[in-house]
Amino acid sequence: MQQIKFNIHVYRFKALLANLIIAVLLPVASWAQLHVFAPDHECTHLCAHTRISASSIGIYDQDPRLYDYDVKFYGLDLHVDPSTTFLDGSVRILAEVTATSMSYFVLELTDELSVSSVEHGDELLSFSHHNQVLEIDLGDSFDEGTIIDITVYYSGEPQPDGFFAGISSSNNNFGDPVLWTLSEPHNARQWFPCKQVLEDKADSVHVTITTPPGFTAASNGLLTKVTEHPDGRMTYHWRSFYPIAYYLISIAVSNYQEYNFYAPLSSDQDSVFVQNFIYNYPQVLEAQRENLERTRDFMQVFSQIWGDYPFSSEKYGHAQAPMGGAMEHQTMSTMGSFGFDITAHELAHHWFGNQVTCATWSDIWINEGFASYGEYLAREFILGRESADGWMSNAHNNIKSQPGGSIYVPPLELSDVWRIFNGRLSYRKGAAMLHLLRFELDDDELFFHIMEDFQQTFAHDVATGDDFRMSIDLNTGESWEWFFNQWYYGEGYPIYELLWWQEDNDLFIRSSQITSTNYPSFFLGTLEFKVRINGEEQYIRVFQDEPLQVFEIPLNGKVEQIVFNPQSYMLKEFVLIDSTGIIDPGNLTDLSFGPNPVIESLTLYFDNNWNNSQYFVSDLQGRVLLEGRLLSDEHTIYMAGLTTGMYLIKVVSSRGEQNTFRFLKK
């Protein structure tokens, strides 16, 4: 195992170096992609000692002295009031010197917070704080391997700015103030001094929060003590002893009630404590009890297919906040709602994102693609395959709403946080890629073994997309570089034209493929058909490795029907050019639209299942601008009156089914 992991890390270094060369040498235009601003919620940086910082390039310039030490411990001691973002407190940091010698200790901290003093043991240290960098003069030079013990005292009121604000305060629907943090990808510095480097996980964290009377504070790990002060203030002591990335440390403070239970792991004999902090009103618990208790099923399913919940000696939990989405803070997800998919998604992150964290923001797929596939798997194993396939069909439609875009985030696009967290690419196409991998492997036991092995190999560490590919290679004995080149680094999807005929007992299938973008120009991959012969069905799989290929399949009997992609695994478009017909089950209840971008008009294409449905065209703020009803197999909507920008179109069937698409109006 040690040797395997070493080889994978060597490969990671080479891949990152190659990315650096690509980012420097290739013209900007070659990386051009369509951007989707989806509120779904590196290249590399050569620093001192020639180490590569995979997490920072393209986002902001980091001081290279951040790489002179390894964080061991964060100890936050904060006084807060949930009605404001004002903070007053300290952070203790234990770190090991990794440079040959170190005389300055550098941290990241917003200029909106004022540092009053810095201590090293009993010694007060001089410091400077500007341009979001806290530079501390240690007064001496410390050798490699020395443990530095620094405490920073600070206060201030950072101003929230959007979803990724670092720290936010707002009232919930009941008028109670709620304070919560959301540090991903690089806003932990908005509320505590830290080192924002993905590969440097702290070994442990203590979070101590003092609140006004009547408020409860939730955080990572175990609640070890609650202290009530004579004036009614409360202090909550949280402790976690698992490695943790800087952006997964969190607090949430409000008028909470607790609703707790235990959830089973892979065996019914083992369980984990689930601690929920929800608004302190009876109707909230009444409305959310069933949603919260689904965590039992999610926990057991994920533990059985990926290995037991990685933080089981502490807890899992939820803290409610008035946010537009949710965030997978380690052992305590912060939740704006508790629907089936979002609750499954945030728990899935504790395997993919928390235990194994993306090594670079370019490889956010390790977090979001895997957690999104967790939504599919939760549906498959709890609600059934039909529900799961409905999820994947909607994901495929969303992916195909635009022709291009790679799952891997090109280094030159990392300055756009919404490109990193692009719902169409990082989330849905990331999940669809895993589904395709499962299809290509054609062995569920092997597929889930690879995912579990990847977890064990990189437990409490970081990993890239290529690290996962190496795990596949090692477990299959084959190279999957072709698959990652086209689906991870490439853009778009294949478009098939299919024709079939029969000569005696031989079935011939002619497949011609083009792609939705220029790179790749061709997608290698397996095609699957369900063929009915003499009233009986059989499955046929062929591998297409040329753009135009004819497959000859010996059969015993007359072909009565052919179904292409019968299990709906493939992300593709399909064009029928044979009058005898090849059925695509993905189109039986299909709803699609075009063109995108829209210039003057948009046409919806649909089958009988969507007849008499209502459609609503709205802006991204949800304001309905156009609406109407679908009465035939296609309907054209004239958009000339809309200004340039992004819009949504939602279609609601008479049965209550919904589909939402995003389009660009030029």
DSSP letter at 516 equals S
pLDDT at 585: 54
Per-residue model confidence as pLDDT tens digits over 185-241 = 999 999 999 999 999 999 999 999 999 999 999 999 999 999 999 999 999 999 999
- Alpha helices, DSSP H, located in 307-443: 340-348, 365-378, 385-399, 417-420, 430-441
- Alpha helices, DSSP H, located in 538-590: none
Q: Name the token pair of 663.
A: 């389009």
pLDDT at 596: 67
DSSP letter at 403 equals S
pLDDT at 11: 40
User: Does one domain contain both 466 and 598?
Assistant: no
Question: CB of 38 within 8 A of CB of 406?
Answer: no
Question: CB of 590 within 8 A of CB of 606?
Answer: yes
User: Does one domain contain both 139 and 204?
Assistant: yes
**Token pair 């062929």 in the structure block, residue:** 542
CATH value at residue 646: 2.60.40.1220
On whether residue 186 sits in a domain, the answer given is yes
On whether residue 109 sits in a domain, the answer given is yes
User: Does one domain contain both 480 and 616?
Assistant: no
Domain boundary residue among 200, 231, 254? Answer: 254
User: Does one domain contain both 95 and 237?
Assistant: yes
pLDDT at 619: 85
User: Does one domain contain both 119 and 250?
Assistant: yes
User: Does one domain contain both 44 and 73?
Assistant: no
Mapped onto helix, strand or coil, the DSSP state of residue 350 is: coil
On whether residue 80 sits in a domain, the answer given is yes
Domain boundary residue among 200, 221, 254? Answer: 254
pLDDT at 187: 96
DSSP per-residue letters across 609-647: GGTT-EEEEEETT--EEEEEE--SSEEEEE-TTSPSEEE
The mean pLDDT values, 10 residues at a time, for the chain of 666 residues are: 35 43 35 30 28 46 96 98 98 98 98 98 96 97 98 96 90 98 97 98 98 98 98 98 98 98 94 98 97 98 97 98 96 97 98 98 98 98 96 94 95 95 98 98 98 97 98 98 98 92 91 92 96 91 96 92 90 63 53 74 80 87 87 84 84 78 74
pLDDT at 640: 85
On whether residue 176 sits in a domain, the answer given is yes
On whether residue 347 sits in a domain, the answer given is no
CATH value at residue 525: 2.60.40.1910
- Give CA–CA dist 576/271, Å, rounded: 51
pLDDT at 43: 30
Say if residue 160 is exposed, middle or buried (CB neighbours under 10 Å; 0-12, 13-18, 19+).
middle
Domain around 469 = 2-50+359-487
H/E run at residue 196: none
User: Does one domain contain both 140 and 233?
Assistant: yes
- Give CA–CA dist 554/619, Å, rounded: 54
User: Does one domain contain both 528 and 605?
Assistant: no
On whether residue 324 sits in a domain, the answer given is no
pLDDT at 616: 92
User: Does one domain contain both 107 and 201?
Assistant: yes
User: Does one domain contain both 123 and 240?
Assistant: yes
DSSP per-residue letters across 33-79: ------------EE-GGG-EETTTTTT-PPPGGGGGEEEEEEEEEEE
DSSP per-residue letters across 259-316: EEEEEE-SSTT-EEEEEEEEES-HHHHHHHHHHHHHHHHHHHHHHHHH-S-TTTTT-E
pLDDT at 101: 97
Domain boundary residue among 196, 230, 254? Answer: 254
CATH value at residue 243: 2.60.40.1730
Question: CB of 306 within 8 A of CB of 448?
Answer: yes
- Give CA–CA dist 534/130, Å, rounded: 78
User: Does one domain contain both 402 and 427?
Assistant: yes
pLDDT at 177: 98
Handedness of CA 48, 51, 57, 60 (dihedral sign): negative
pLDDT at 575: 64
Largest CA distance in the chain: 92
pLDDT at 17: 46
CATH value at residue 17: 1.10.390.10
Question: CB of 106 within 8 A of CB of 196?
Answer: no
User: Does one domain contain both 480 and 622?
Assistant: no
- Give CA–CA dist 61/16, Å, rounded: 18
If one counts the domains in the chain, the total is: 4
The model's pTM is 0.81
On whether residue 336 sits in a domain, the answer given is no
On whether residue 95 sits in a domain, the answer given is yes
